[in-house]
Chain A
Amino acid sequence: MLSTFFAVLRRDLLLAWRGRADVLVTLAFFVIVVCLFPFGVGAEPNQLRAIAPGVLWVAALLACLLSLHRLFAQDHVDGTLEQLLLSSEPAVLWVTAKVLAFWLTTGLPVVAVAPVLALLLDLEQGGLPVLVISLLLGTPILALLGAVGAALTLGLRGGGMLLALLVLPLFVPVLIFGAGAVEAELSGTGAAAHLLLLGGGLAGALALAPWGCAAALRVSTE
């Protein structure tokens, strides 16, 4: 059973490596969105410092959202998805592997770049570790919830917009606790509560989302 998990994981990572331009595009998107904010709200350092956690989180969330369509689309087109669903291996297992591969190739690079961008926005250095931890805990939740939406909108016309409408309301709690953690740390109240809630959310999403995603894939491909 675990061999399936690792086989799918390795395959998806290899595919992502072969098409690494996609990963770079996601990163570039993340950087550009963050860079837009100083143009929009003005380059006043105090103001940028105040909005930095929220801006970084919203940008990470959008980067995740816009790459979600990659999760199943290619496998759906070339028939891999159908073969996986027909196989005797439990769908939850390889769905989890695919989501993990997706997060490793889109979520993790975003998390790695975020501290550098935080310096652009002059976020206080004390907040950087919390920012990284909150993104490490939060972006997998986005990937898991987004996978359900991606599975439901598979192959639909205008699927991208629809996907946004479906999953963005579900992303709100993650955004609240993710950006809230950094702000709580900087304001001196401590980020423990927020991070614990994010961790709890991750555990819950990990337990439930793969089932929902597998069911949604069955619905979308039958």
Chain B
Amino acid sequence: MSRPDRGPSILRFAAPQNFYPLAGRLAPWFAGLAVVLTLVGLWLGFVVAPTDATQGEVYRVIFIHVPAAWMSMFIYLVMAFWSAVGLVMNTRLSFLMSQALAPTGAMFCVVALWTGALWGKPTWGAYWVWDARLTSQALLLFLYLGFIALTRAIEDPRRADRAGAIIALVGAVNVPVIYFSVKWWNTLHQGASVSLTKAPSMATTMLAGMLVMAIASWAYTLAVVLWRVRPMILERERHTEWVGAELMREALRQGGRA
């Protein structure tokens, strides 16, 4: 089956049959990048970076905690972006991208909360405090879970795509509202409580380790999402010719190896 020739525009990758092989080719590179950067980042974080003067060794959780928290918020924005693109441009692939992103975003939310709890116990003396950041992170997790549950509960794929996109956008509009309301609630309630923001000025190696880990989790997200979106594309497009040809080729490759 010949590809529709629309010139060199990047938009041709909006077509699932063009995106499918591209995703397959890009994913291993991002995975490799993620592995290398994670190793470098962890080495910087756990070997090179000095012990923190006030917190001791416990602070080292930030090399996982902070990138995870960043990614969890960033992924929601990307998800809402693809949802909006899907609703406006009516592109099937955009909906698939937002649905492929959601589980990774939820995972990063859990990692951020979990590592935060592990850090909070020795530092604050409690696994959980109703701090503004913790609370809004937990609510973000619920937004992810709602999105995933809704798209899974609807059987008709077209309805699932659009319903998910609408709730993602509603959530994106509400995220700032939730964040600020929780922040004011907390400050109105019990005055300045423990805060993550008053970290002492960071040593360069600490900052470097954190940034490397952030890029690593970004590359990991890309790799995982590209891998996750491929079978989703095949499932959606299973009635088309190109998927038949693709599966045939895959079967031949498997057969040749065996």
Contact = CB atoms under 8 A, between A and B. Distances in A.
What's the interface size class on B, roughly? Answer: 20 to 34
B146 A169 contact: yes
Interface in A175-222: 176-177, 180, 184, 197, 201, 208, 212, 215-216, 219-220, 222
A25 interface: no
Interface string B142-168: 110110011001100011001100110
A165 interface: yes
A111 B187 CA distance: 28
Contacts of A173: 174, 177-178, 181-182
Contacts, number: 74
B185 A152 contact: no
Contacts of B185: 176, 180
Contact of A169 (B139, B166, B169, B184): B139
A172 interface: yes
A166 interface: yes
A77 interface: no
Contacts of A215: 166
A168 interface: yes
Contact of B142 (A158, A168, A220, A222): A168
Given A170-B170, A177-B181, A220-B163, 8 more contacts: A152-B163, A152-B166, A165-B142, A165-B145, A169-B142, A201-B177, A212-B169, A216-B166
Interface of A: 145, 148-149, 152-153, 156-159, 162, 165-166, 168-170, 172-173, 176-177, 180, 184, 197, 201, 208, 212, 215-216, 219-220, 222
